[in-house]
Structure 1
Amino acid sequence: MSYDSVKWPARGLLGAVSPQARQELLALGVESRFEAGDVLLREGGADRHVLLLLSGFAKVTARVENGEESLLAVRVGGDTVGEMAALDGAPRSATVTACGLVIARIWKPAEVHSLLARRPDVHLTLTGIIAQRLRWANRRRLDFRGYPAKVRLARLLVELATSYGHPVEGGFVLGCRLTQPELAALTGAAETTIHKGLRELRQEGLLETGYGSTVIRDLPRLRKLADLAPEGPAGPEV
């Protein structure tokens, strides 16, 4: 499959590098296919390869102290997963699971190290993406303390729309599908609270949900509710 005409999200590696570097990244490693529920990377694993997602989306989860699974983030086409273990040699810090069909290129550790050595521009871009993810995680912790659940939900929806969504007539379609329990995990709220918040957003004409899709109908108003600036990105990628 040719990816020449794909518009990659700006916050993923493929969207952030130059066209020349992008072609090199798309030729690196081997392409692999993952079905829904397949584990791409497993928490605690000692493997060191990196995956470059080309299509579909995946969830990043980890076990908390009480043994329950917590959703940390989502990754979509254009993103990398597994780069931390490749860079520092530590065990995998999270599990990455395919949500629907995912196509990815698998980079061996030696390929990653060689790439970063000969392409300092890619190295710098990847380092910046990792820093963005860490800043986003820190902001999430502040959001949990500083905003009520409905505002946290609005902030997450704006971020998903501006990072991974695409415009349609009358709104923005989110670029990934998340269940109410998953939205609850990402916002640090109870599932019942998220259910109530989504219902209120629909009643207020800000959101429209259907089977497998979510459409933001009034992004400016949703930004205002989320206490975000009227324009510009909502924050680092999920």
Structure 2
Amino acid sequence: MTYAASRDADHESNWPRGSYLGRLSEAALDDLLALGRPRRFEPRDLLVRQGDTDRHTLLLLSGFTKVTATAQNGLESLLAIRLGGDIIGEMAAVGDMPRTATVTACGPVTARAVPHETLRAFLLRRPDAAVELTGIVSERLRWANNRRLEFRGYNVKERLARILVDLAASHGRPGRDGVELGFTLTQPELAALTGAAEPTVHKALKELRDAELIVTGYRTTTVRDLDRLREEARLLPSDLD
């Protein structure tokens, strides 16, 4: 797994290749990071709110956020997480629609806020960046569809393993003991992502730790054996493309 060097003094030194900023060419990245204005968010601050009609995009430079949505009956669901290198709010920016989810800072977050007209102009003059953004949107939709299918086709431990493999591929960084995710999801958050009860997720998480597939610590989770975790997730080679 490789990483893209950053060009802003106020964020992490690199971004995973799976993130939007990590996929851009050096020229496109320099162009994009010159747009908009810097923003800082404190823990529990809302970056965007479901239903709002503002249309700017946020480029996450550092930090950890969670994406949630609330149904009409008031039930809140955790949909995804977003970290440094990710783009937030692109659907509202290019699709002229209200925000479909709320994004909340889980710690200190730095970002750049780019007006929707500015983003559109950037994508028009940088078709390579537009292609990468299309790929990001497509992958997110596929990820959401896969989660729905997995609720019926796989047990909780397999679903949890699949989520951890996905996170390692998109946001993992090589560390001393394996692939470090750089964050730790709470058990309620993992339960929401896997569509399972919290005690069941607790049991599955313990089994993965006992098998030495993962290690959880303060503010980080490390995948110690990615190949074995893929086997636990029942992932086929075609699922890893």
Using the size of structure 2 for normalisation, the TM-score is 0.91
| Deviations, residues 144-171 of structure 1 (Å, cap 9, x unaligned) | 1110011000111111122212122232
CA shift at 1:31, angstroms?
A: 0.6
- Find the aligned partners of 1:200 and 1:101 in 2 and give their Cα distance: 32
1:169 aligned to which of 162, 176, 181 = 176
Using the size of structure 1 for normalisation, the TM-score is 0.92
- Find the aligned partners of 2:167 and 2:240 in 1 and give their Cα distance: 9
- Give the % identical residues: 56
> Does the Cα contact within 8 Å between 2:183 and 2:219 map onto a contact in 1?
no
1:76 match: 83
Matches within 5 A, 1:31-180: 31-180=38-187
2:230 aligned to which of 207, 223, 227 = 223
| Deviations, residues 97-128 of structure 1 (Å, cap 9, x unaligned) | 11101100000122112112222221121112
Q: 1:7 to 1:91 in 2, by over 3 A?
A: same
> Does the Cα contact within 8 Å between 1:202 and 1:208 map onto a contact in 2?
yes
Whether 1:13 aligns to 2:20 is: yes
Q: CA RMSD in A?
A: 1.9
> Does the Cα contact within 8 Å between 1:181 and 1:191 map onto a contact in 2?
yes
> Does the Cα contact within 8 Å between 2:184 and 2:218 map onto a contact in 1?
no
Q: 1:118 to 1:220 in 2, by over 3 A?
A: same
More moved, 157-166 vs 75-84:
157-166
| Deviations, residues 51-83 of structure 1 (Å, cap 9, x unaligned) | 000001211100024212100011111111001
CA shift at 1:174, angstroms?
A: 1.5
> Does the Cα contact within 8 Å between 1:208 and 1:217 map onto a contact in 2?
yes
- Find the aligned partners of 1:221 and 1:124 in 2 and give their Cα distance: 33
- Find the aligned partners of 2:78 and 2:55 in 1 and give their Cα distance: 22
